[in-house]
Structure 1
Amino acid sequence: MNDIIQLLPDNIANQIAAGEVIQRPASAVKELLENAVDAGATEIKLIVSDAGKALIQVIDNGKGMSDTDARMAFERHATSKIRQIEDLFRIKTMGFRGEALASVAAVAQVEMKTRRKDDELGTYIEIENSRVIKQEPCSSQVGTSISMKNLFFNVPARRNFLKSNAAELRHIMDEFIRVSMAFPDIFFSLTSNGQEVFHLEPGTLKQRIVQILGNNYNAKLVHVAEKTDYMNIYGFVGKPETARKTRGDQYFFVNSRFIKSAYLNHAVNTAFDEMIPKDSFPGYVLFIDLDPSQVDINVHPTKQEIKFEDEKIIYAFVQAAVKHALAQFSIAPSLDFTLNADIQGLDAVSKPFTTDKKDAVASSSLYQTFTQKNQAHFIERENKAELKHWKSFFEPQHTENIVDKPAEQPIQSLLHTPVARLQNIHVLADTTLLQLHNTYIIASTNSGFILVHQQLAHERVLYDRYSTAAHGQQMATQKSLFPVTLELPAADAALLTDLLPDLSSIGYQVEPFGNHSFVIQGIPADITTGNEKHTIELLIEQFKHFSSDIKFSKREKLVRCMARQQAIKAGQTLSQKEMLVLIEELFTCSTPNVTPTGAPTYLEFKEDYLDRMFGK
């Protein structure tokens, strides 16, 4: 019998490795940027065409490579970072994976120019399908330029799985931001289809954060800095007012490498307890430096998921550091020391501080918090008055007003006809509706009663309305008397540009204004005016962090986000008229009993069931 086990050809083995390492254009961007950082570059330029499908080029001014190293870099398991097994546990560099360039060369047409400072000539290499097509001396700048063309040209099945250019460009931006955020002392630029998207001059970490996330963060960052023998943590967290309803600008770096960690996210979130609503998420850019032997970065091919030797210590330290920073911020507001005549006349200045007053102050919990040792960061849970102003920022300010929207029939006629005719449920219109806890609506029916969740019910109503508009019957737009200008970070601007046609179908009129700016000319006619900017910013956040389930189209995700955002919130008081119109509209929906995500909009309690509950 013939032997049947054979070694795979190099090009096929490399393609298999590429399946783990290069999953999309952004994966290649990450690898090439990290190699440029490790080369000691002070300037790194990323150029992409067609969201990386046609071209990904990284140009750096690093130390470059010899002709031998340039050729060896594309071999499998080739790396300059590891000599023995122990080195795997002492890695402090970024691009150490021995599969990276070999994987790139297996799925793209690659050209590289590289030159060291002391060499007169550089090296030019051209590789296709893991085979060197050309290698020759060339004139080039000091450093390295690598171009990847026609990604997955030899693996058409993989290319077919790539998403739209807008979606792939967002992934590229994510990887670019993560690397450039970690190294603020390096110049980075990103050019897409000939247009410069990012131009990040070297500077401090705070300057880099503002460059990337936008000027709105400039005065809203709290500095975090703690050092111990075991680990250091530094960076910035956003003030409570910057918290968002979705996971937004959250960046964790361990030894300058971006990581994803729900565990550490939870540590930061708990540090914000009582300062932001429980359904909001703080923004932060935090760096943890510790001995590489205390962390395993080889648990996932992308190196974005890691394992700490002692997670509990890291968790406690992160939580304490953030709490300490927030406490310093909250007890040390900026003071104006210029004292005018009005202040001089206040009782606190003009009248003596008696012994009785002194005893009263000294016995207060606030005084004790300031005077007892190690209590500066302590906030009593029982006293939440100081925190109310943070919470008020997140209360729904401009939700759709159901009263302002005309009902399908005059209210008078609704009062004399059954409101709900579907599901064999008939709401008795001649009885008063009851709102419970400003969240639920109790309505009598011919066979018992129903308990309606007002937010979920309204979400179903709005979903049907927006879905109809998005698929043909475009909603009316109310023009803004004074158009609002909206400035966004580059990544958000790219996303909004991609969403403009779909936003138009549901009533938004938004026009690009250059340099990541937009002008809001109009909004859907049934949305309250006055908060257009916040509405679109929140919509972008929700869309970015929507489930990545591929069964939903871009337009479907947008409709669901809109319905969730504009629905009246639990806790909002409704009038009899508003409750009546809501229930009427709910039972004219195609599927009134559940939200688009499958949550029930109401529960039905029948009379025979109620009788059994009371033993009758």
Structure 2
Amino acid sequence: MSSIIQLLPDHVANQIAAGEVVQRPASVVKELLENAVDAKATDIKLIIKDAGKSLIQVIDNGVGMSVTDARLCFERHATSKIRQAEDLFSLHTKGFRGEALASIAAIAHVEMKTKQDQEELGTHLIIEGSKFVSQEVAVLPKGTSFAVKNLFYNIPARRNFLKSDIVEYRHVIDEFQRVALAHPNIHFTFYHNGSEMFNLPQSNFRQRIVAIFSGKTNEKLVPVQEETELVEIQGFVSKPEFAKKNRGEQFFFVNDRYIKSGYLHHAVMAAYDGILKDGAQPSYFLFLSVPPHTIDINIHPTKTEIKFDDEQALYAILRAAIKHSLGQFNVAPILDFDRDATLDTPYHYKDLEGVIPTVQVDANFNPFAETQPTKSYSGSGSNYKKTEIASSWEGLYVGLKQETETFSASSNFSFENEEVTSSLFDLEDAEPTIHRTYQIHKKYIVSPIKSGMVIVDQQRAHQRVLYEQFLVNMTVHQASSQQLLFPLNLYFSKNEMELIAELQLSLMNTGFVFEETQKDHVVISGIPVNITESEVSLVLEQLLSDLQDGIPESSFSQNDTIAKSMAKSLAVKTGSYLTEKEQENLVNGLFACKEPNVSPFQKPTFITMRVEDIDKKFAL
């Protein structure tokens, strides 16, 4: 019987491996940038076109490669990072598998130019689908240039799974930011479709954060620093008042490698316990330096997850370090129940000497004397004058009886009638007050109907009402706007500004008026009539959070997403008290909607209870 198991050809194996390494253009950007960093480059340029679908090019001034290395680097499991299995536990570089370039070359057109500093000429290679097309000697500058063109050209099904250019571009920016934050000592430049998006000169960590996330970031940051035998922590966290709805600005770096860790994120949130609003997420940029042998970074294909030897101790140290920093910079309140604040010495008293009070006693003072002269008592620098009193206390009441007798009942005085009436208005003919709605636990509204009663969820009902209002305004283009006396300046990161630019037309249809749009902020001079000025930033933050996975391409889907997000932000929340008039308006508005049964998120807005159902409860 013939064997049915056979070795796969190299080009097929490379395409299969590419499925793990290369998921989208951002994956290629990550691998090439990390290779440039490992090559000890001090200047790295990233150039992409069409969000990386047409071109991804990384140019560095690193050590370069020889002719042999240039050819060998595209072979599977060929790497300069490790030599034996023990090296996996003492890694100081980014990549080490030796599969990245081979996988990229299997699914794209790759052009590589490289030259070492001591060599006069470099090497120019062209590869298409794992096949070497040409290899030439060329005059090149020091370093390496990788150009990856037409990604997934030979796997059209995979190319069709790519998202829109906006979504893929955001993923590329995410990968670029992670590498750029981890290495502030390297000059990074980023170009997209011929336009310069980022120019990050060599700087310190704080300056790099501000350069990437806009100028207002500087005033948000609180430094964190802690050094122990187990870990060294450096970085910054944000002040609680600058917390956002989304988790976009949260970065952990372990030994200069970006990682994701829900366990460490929980430690950060525990440090903010009690000083954040519900649903708010703080920003943090934290560097953790640990001995390489205490971590295992080979547990995930993308190397974004790490296994620590002692996670519990690391959790406690991280939480304590952040909590200490927040308290040290007066960001978090410090409670000390053993301390009496009234005993604190004011600053303007700290150098003053105490004054000893003096007391003067009059030895000739007789309290039983008929008359007393004026005396002066001196104590603590103050004087008290005692006036002469009557010769006898009985004299104080002399003539009191005669004075009171003058005000007799026969006197010609008229007094205002002090009779208190039971009511200011005669209510005999008035209609009795009828309560049509009742609020229960500040969450549900109960309204009687002929067959029984309706119980309405106030938050979901308001979401449905607002959702249909916003949707009509955006489709009919008749939204009304209220002008602000003082325009609002709202600052966002470059990622968020890209989203706002795409959504600007739809937001204008809801009632927003954009007076000015800059690279890092927008100026809003008008807002929808049902939004207060203080709610604008919350609405936009919620909208950006809901669109993290991308903006729908069709205009209707885009309007639908915006209407849902704004309705969620502005709807009355559970726990809010509503007056009877507000309750009635909400119930009437709900049943005037086209689809009153469910909220915009397909949750029921109300339930009905018939009298028969209530009777059955009592019959038990």
TM-score by length of 2: 0.79
Q: Secondary structure at the match of 2:322?
A: helix
The structural deviation recorded for 1:23 is 0.5
2:7 counterpart of 1:7: yes
Q: Secondary structure at the match of 2:146?
A: strand
Q: Distance in 1 between matches of 2:296 and 2:617?
A: 57
- The code of the aligned residue for 1:175 comes to E
Q: Distance in 2 between matches of 1:222 and 1:344?
A: 28
Among the aligned pairs, what percent are the same residue? Answer: 49
Say which of 463, 487, 509 aligns to 2:467.
Answer: 463
Q: Distance in 2 between matches of 1:212 and 1:437?
A: 46
CA change 1:546–1:58 in 2 (3 A) is closer
Spell out the pairing of 1:454-533 with structure 2 (5 A cutoff). Answer: 454-470=458-474, 472-478=475-481, 480=483, 483-510=487-514, 513-520=517-524, 522-529=526-533, 532-533=536-537
- The code of the aligned residue for 1:520 comes to I
Q: Distance in 2 between matches of 1:45 and 1:526?
A: 47
Aligned length: 531
Q: Distance in 2 between matches of 1:85 and 1:590?
A: 65
CA change 1:329–1:440 in 2 (3 A) is farther
Is the contact between residue 181 and residue 208 of structure 1 (CA under 8 Å) also seen in structure 2? yes
The structural deviation recorded for 1:38 is 0.8
Is the contact between residue 439 and residue 453 of structure 1 (CA under 8 Å) also seen in structure 2? yes
Q: Secondary structure at the match of 2:219?
A: coil
Is the contact between residue 431 and residue 444 of structure 1 (CA under 8 Å) also seen in structure 2? no
Spell out the pairing of 1:260-299 with structure 2 (5 A cutoff). Answer: 260-299=260-299
- The code of the aligned residue for 1:27 comes to S
2:595 counterpart of 1:591: yes
The structural deviation recorded for 1:554 is 4.3
2:32 counterpart of 1:28: no
Q: Tell me whether 20-29 or 319-328 shows the greater mean CA deviation.
A: 319-328
Is the contact between residue 511 and residue 527 of structure 2 (CA under 8 Å) also seen in structure 1? yes
Spell out the pairing of 1:550-565 with structure 2 (5 A cutoff). Answer: 553-565=557-569
The structural deviation recorded for 1:591 is 3.5
- The code of the aligned residue for 1:473 comes to V
2:543 counterpart of 1:536: no
Aligned residue number for residue 108 of structure 2: 108
Aligned residue number for residue 376 of structure 1: none
2:38 counterpart of 1:38: yes
Spell out the pairing of 1:431-446 with structure 2 (5 A cutoff). Answer: 431-446=435-450
Aligned residue number for residue 410 of structure 2: none
- The code of the aligned residue for 1:562 comes to M
Aligned residue number for residue 606 of structure 2: 602
Q: Distance in 1 between matches of 2:586 and 2:349?
A: 54
**What root-mean-square deviation, in Å, do the aligned CA atoms of Structure 1 and Structure 2 show?**
3.1
The structural deviation recorded for 1:271 is 0.9
Q: Distance in 1 between matches of 2:95 and 2:291?
A: 18
Aligned residue number for residue 16 of structure 1: 16
Q: Distance in 2 between matches of 1:353 and 1:267?
A: 53
- The code of the aligned residue for 1:296 comes to D
Aligned residue number for residue 59 of structure 1: 59
Is the contact between residue 480 and residue 523 of structure 1 (CA under 8 Å) also seen in structure 2? yes
Spell out the pairing of 1:75-86 with structure 2 (5 A cutoff). Answer: 75-86=75-86
CA change 1:557–1:4 in 2 (3 A) is same
CA change 1:545–1:111 in 2 (3 A) is closer
Q: Secondary structure at the match of 2:154?
A: coil
- The code of the aligned residue for 2:517 comes to F
Is the contact between residue 166 and residue 498 of structure 1 (CA under 8 Å) also seen in structure 2? no
- The code of the aligned residue for 2:477 comes to Q
Structure 1 residues 10-61: Cα deviation after superposition (integer angstroms, max 9, x where no partner) = 2221111111111000110111111111111111111111100111111111
Aligned residue number for residue 259 of structure 1: 259
CA change 1:311–1:66 in 2 (3 A) is same
The structural deviation recorded for 1:526 is 3.5
Aligned residue number for residue 210 of structure 1: 210
Is the contact between residue 53 and residue 151 of structure 1 (CA under 8 Å) also seen in structure 2? yes
Is the contact between residue 459 and residue 564 of structure 1 (CA under 8 Å) also seen in structure 2? yes
CA change 1:193–1:485 in 2 (3 A) is farther
Q: Distance in 1 between matches of 2:84 and 2:262?
A: 32
Q: Distance in 2 between matches of 1:437 and 1:206?
A: 47
Q: Distance in 2 between matches of 1:547 and 1:166?
A: 8
Structure 1 residues 358-413: Cα deviation after superposition (integer angstroms, max 9, x where no partner) = xxxxxxxxxxxxxxxxxxxxxxxxxxxxxxxxxxxxxxxxxxxxxxxxxxxxxxxx
Structure 1 residues 132-154: Cα deviation after superposition (integer angstroms, max 9, x where no partner) = 11111112221111111111111
The structural deviation recorded for 1:81 is 0.8
Q: Secondary structure at the match of 2:330?
A: helix
Is the contact between residue 167 and residue 549 of structure 2 (CA under 8 Å) also seen in structure 1? no
The structural deviation recorded for 1:608 is 4.0
Q: Secondary structure at the match of 1:147?
A: strand
Is the contact between residue 21 and residue 100 of structure 1 (CA under 8 Å) also seen in structure 2? yes
Q: Secondary structure at the match of 2:62?
A: coil
Aligned residue number for residue 304 of structure 1: 304
The structural deviation recorded for 1:78 is 1.4
Is the contact between residue 22 and residue 103 of structure 1 (CA under 8 Å) also seen in structure 2? yes
Aligned residue number for residue 172 of structure 2: 172
Is the contact between residue 475 and residue 525 of structure 1 (CA under 8 Å) also seen in structure 2? no
The answer for unaligned runs of 5 or more in structure 1 is 334-342, 355-415, 417-428
CA change 1:534–1:594 in 2 (3 A) is closer
CA change 1:169–1:514 in 2 (3 A) is same
CA change 1:199–1:477 in 2 (3 A) is farther
Aligned residue number for residue 579 of structure 1: 583
Q: Secondary structure at the match of 1:293?
A: helix
Q: Secondary structure at the match of 2:532?
A: coil
Q: Tell me whether 153-162 or 488-497 shows the greater mean CA deviation.
A: 488-497
CA change 1:256–1:522 in 2 (3 A) is same
Q: Secondary structure at the match of 1:330?
A: coil
Task: Flag the structure with larger Rg.
Answer: 2
The structural deviation recorded for 1:128 is 0.6
Is the contact between residue 255 and residue 287 of structure 2 (CA under 8 Å) also seen in structure 1? yes
Q: Tell me whether 27-36 or 455-464 shows the greater mean CA deviation.
A: 455-464
The answer for unaligned runs of 5 or more in structure 2 is 334-344, 357-430
Aligned residue number for residue 128 of structure 2: 128
Q: Tell me whether 498-507 or 95-104 shows the greater mean CA deviation.
A: 498-507
Q: Distance in 1 between matches of 2:68 and 2:522?
A: 50
